[in-house]
Amino acid sequence: MRSKLLFVLACATAALAATRDAEIRTSGRALPQVQTAADPVQVLVGRLDLERYKGTIKGLTQFGDRRQGTDRNRAAIDWIEARLKSDGCTDTARLKYNYAPGSGPAVAAAPANRAVGGGRPRGYRARTGVNNDPNAQPDARLRQLDSQPSAPGPREEVYCTKIGTTHPGEMYIVSGHMDGVGWGEAANDDGSGTALVMELARILNGRDVQTDRSVRFILWNNEETGLDGSAAYVEQRKDLQGKENPPGSGRYPEPKWLGMIQHDMMLFDHGMPRADGSISKEQRPEADINVEFQANSKLAASSEALAWILERANEAYATDYPASVGSHMTNTDSTPFMDFVASISLRENERGTQIGNGWDPQWHQPSDLFSTYSDKDFRLGLNAAQTTLAAVAQLAGAKVIR
């Protein structure tokens, strides 16, 4: 089955390349006369740096848990946008929506009976939940920083776009969520995914980098309230795909979606709980990156194909940790997209069978702090960045101009 799927993917990739070149030839446009690196993917992956990745996560933690509907959340959005611009991703915008608890757009975007698709629990389980007790945070400074409660009302989330040179009207979406809960720093959930997306935006928007197709980097808000930010994006923009505006301008405010790749909790794979509920303090040597699609989505086949593309990219370009493909993508911001475009998520563990069973004791807890994690943990997140960057560079047709 897998061999057949890989054969189909290879044929599809070759067909896309041939079609793209034919379109350029028949349009009368000359191919750009540039020299490119022998393996641009390797060059781009080599620009990822562990200390820089850690520094971006650390920068996000200055805003505490970044809970939606607070001043610290709004300050974090401003900081993210400023960093994106300073790192070269200057085509930034914000999606605006209104959040009222219990009345978000998620129902229209993703029916609730298919939003949860976790696998059957196995092994030992530990308790999980969201900490709502401020006194559980022993750091008085952080406790004060996280103290402003959330209020309903207007919300914003920022994104930036790398415009494709030959197919600007088509794009891949690379995303993570920037809000958190639990009276900590939300360093892993989801500072680790947000920083990953920001680092990919920096690299693919380098002055010497071109992509055939567009890539949009989105930092969702309101994930922790039920995927409201990503659902609002789908609701507002799904019908705008591929429409040139103004006509004849060559500008596509919402290029056609080709694939959606979400990143949510990237650092902690220490294994399943022991019989007493405790977790190893060390990253396990066999840690891996879980690439998941949703088996009961309308586009499960194309989503699975996208997942295997990332697995192959990991095999070729990731330095330390392998990737594994699973069918239980659930409860993250790729869910509202899954019936409209091939959609996958990358995580430290399977969401349905591992994170939900207590494999990460920092999940939504005061201990989700930058200081909690070791370089082995951060390196797992860096390997996820290598995996997505390599795959997107190939899919979008990235070139490094000498």
Amino acid at 144: Q
Pairing of strands 398-400, 209-211: antiparallel
Residue 76 resides in a domain: yes
Residue 124 resides in a domain: no
Residue 379 resides in a domain: yes
Residue 312 resides in a domain: yes
In the numeric block, the tokens 């080599």 are attached to 46
Amino acid at 169: G
* CATH code of residue 269: 3.40.630.10
Residue 15 resides in a domain: no
Q: Which domain holds residue 85?
A: 54-101+148-273+289-400
Residue 27 resides in a domain: no
Residue 69 resides in a domain: yes
Residue 21 resides in a domain: no
Total structural domains in the chain? 1
Q: CA 177 to CA 98: how far, in whole Å?
A: 17
Tens digit of each residue's pLDDT, the chain (402 residues): 444 444 444 444 444 444 334 433 333 444 344 456 689 999 999 999 999 999 999 999 999 999 999 999 999 999 999 999 999 999 999 999 999 997 544 333 333 333 346 677 777 778 889 999 999 999 999 999 999 999 999 999 999 999 999 999 999 999 999 999 999 999 999 999 999 999 999 999 999 999 999 999 999 999 999 999 999 999 999 999 999 999 999 999 999 999 999 999 999 999 999 999 899 999 999 999 999 999 999 999 999 999 999 999 999 999 999 999 999 999 999 999 999 999 999 999 998 889 988 999 999 999 999 999 999 999 999 999 999 999 999 999 999 998
Q: CA 155 to CA 99: how far, in whole Å?
A: 7
